[in-house]
Structure 1
């Protein structure tokens, strides 16, 4: 299985990007992982929130295939602790799917088309985080999940 993370817009904070790169590299020791950025939409001032979600949704769906398991990072999704999340990852690996795709949406969330296509939703917290911080938190949790599955000490340092 491979894991892909899709996010809208680049990370413009160099310190955050360095940490994201660090955990992405660490994650590569456990699983094939890719992080794909969809560039911010241009001329959004002329678009309603709904139109912006629709355009972003089309771009998100163009980056996935029908055989992918698509999981949205959404405030209304299921919450896990780190051990539960590692079990969630293991269940997906055992299911035989080829690619597990997680998506961080744009500032207004996801279009209805993306919600209909999704196989699930997870939430990192009831709190609101910047989209750039969510990238780091999620990639770190993926890494933590794999260290838990391998019984490595990272989780309890």
Structure 2
């Protein structure tokens, strides 16, 4: 994982990893992984007028991002996917839009995805996010929603 991707994981200079889970999981996923523990987990319920449309956003706040960022991001996807039993994703700040959940045009704003029963897929760097292969990964996961 290059520092390039880590540079995009800041909001107001604070390192933040945003995990998106459709619905409302029964319990908050356990995002701690060994010595890697967010200093705070902020939870937001993103809703629209449709009573069945809800996505839970978990913002994992750090003083410093984990040095082994890629494995940690994969861990976050695994535990969120298990808690929600649905497709989950990692997205940059400001990327969420109910009308554009995991579609090809949103691919450059999503840097990780996971489906139930599958392995997490995390972009190795920012250049991957603009490739046709990455767009296909995002769209294929979006078709499972």
Fold-level similarity (TM above 0.5): no
TM-score by structure 1 length? 0.30
Report which of the two structures shows the higher radius of gyration computed on alpha carbons: 1
| Greater helix share, structure number | 1
TM-score by structure 2 length? 0.31
Higher normalized contact order (CA 8 Å, seq sep 6+, divided by chain length): 1
